[in-house]
Structure 1
Amino acid sequence: MQRSNKVSINTEDGTSTLYIKELKEVYHSRKGALTESQFVYINEGLKYWSKGSSNAICRVLELGYGTGLIAFLTYLNSLEINKQIDYTSLEAYPISITQLKELNYDQFLKEKNS
């Protein structure tokens, strides 16, 4: 997809996600990009796995890197749970650095944790 096909939109939790006008498709829930990613992939995925795991390595295959929010949250949480994570992600239509910066996830998480 060309850069012009994707626009940044705000979600209800204050975080941004991308919207593809032609497909009427959002990258994350309109209820909240961070809320959805934290609940589905971190709380019900990574943290659930880590409770039942001793010294195992967590291997993640993500089909559709999207905005990178889930990879970023996985990294931050891997420090908290002190587990090694081998993370592989595939993306057919990567976003540009400009689009990534517009999402401002790092700043939002910094403010939320202050």
Structure 2
Amino acid sequence: MAVKLITTEDGSHSLYHDELKETYHSFHGAFKESIHVFMLYGLDSWLMQNPNKKPIRVFEVGFGTGLNAWLSLVWAEQNKIPMLYHTIEPFPLEEEIYSQLNYGDIDSGIFHYKPYLQKLHRAPWDEGTVMSEYFNMKKEKTTLQDVQLYLMDVVFYDAFAPKKQPDLWEKHLFEKIYQMMRPGAVLTTYCATGQLRRDLAEIGFQVEKQPGPPGKKEMTRAWK
């Protein structure tokens, strides 16, 4: 897999996938996109609806650069909420790539969490790992089609765009996820296609249009 490091408009890194001709994050800002889509409309939204439920169980489709996982670790530590984080990635990055990522330098308020980014990447695959006091992670080198799912409260759906990887946006995969979501669980994604929203609604989700991150008009949030 050929990828190259790029810098997005908010100064944070992303990667460009040569074969797919697609970036891992929005060119308008990788850091801001992840904060908006997955922290604000994912974790924060779930916590507002479930203030007394602990721990929180998160499932991520696409570990990628580790940005969402790292921000989730920061969120768990800052909120002092135990998090069980399950993430999948069939094509892990090489150290020469992930060692260059600059996410820990973007926000001075969370700079002291910087070492955890590489710790997340170096954690063993296919087994659970205690990463910090409030963050446990299971990282699997597998696909959504093959993974065994566990109960979940929040889903980060961060696969490449439907036009680039249509097989990851098929309705039956969202049905698989829906079956393992707890009542009141939330799925959040940058994707805003009409087909996705129709599929989610037909499965049984309560689907919402939400304002998108910088450079994108809308995104999708769906509740069980």
Settle same-fold status: TM greater than 0.5. Answer: yes
Measured after TM superposition, the shift of residue 107 of structure 1 is: 2.5
Q: How big is each residue's C-alpha offset from its partner over 1:69-91, in whole Å with a ceiling of 9 and x where there is no partner?
A: 00000000111222111001110
Determine if the alignment matches structure 1 residue 48 to structure 2 residue 45. yes
Aligned partner of 2:67 in structure 1 is 69
CA distance in 2, matches of 1:97, 1:47: 31
> Which structure 2 segments of 5+ residues have no match?
112-224
The Cα shift of 1:110 comes to 3.6
Provide the identity percentage: 35
One of 23, 27, 39 as aligned partner of 2:36 = 39
Segments of 5+ residues of structure 1 without an aligned counterpart are none
In structure 2, the partner of 1:20 is 17
3-state secondary structure, aligned to 2:92: coil
Structure holding more strand per residue: 2
- Matched length: 111
**Distance in structure 2 (CA, Å) of the matches to 1:50 and 1:9:** 33
Q: Could you say what secondary structure the match of 1:62 adopts?
A: strand
CA distance in 2, matches of 1:81, 1:24: 37
Q: Which is helix-richer, 1 or 2?
A: 1
> How far apart are the structure 1 equivalents of 2:109 and 2:96?
21
Structure 1 stretches of at least 4 aligned residues deviating more than 4 Å after TM superposition: none
Rg bigger for which structure? 2
**Structure 1 residues 112 and 90 mapped into 2: Cα distance closer, same or farther (>3 Å)?**
closer
Aligned to 1:7: 4
Q: For residues 57 and 110 of structure 2, what CA distance do their matches in structure 1 show?
A: 28
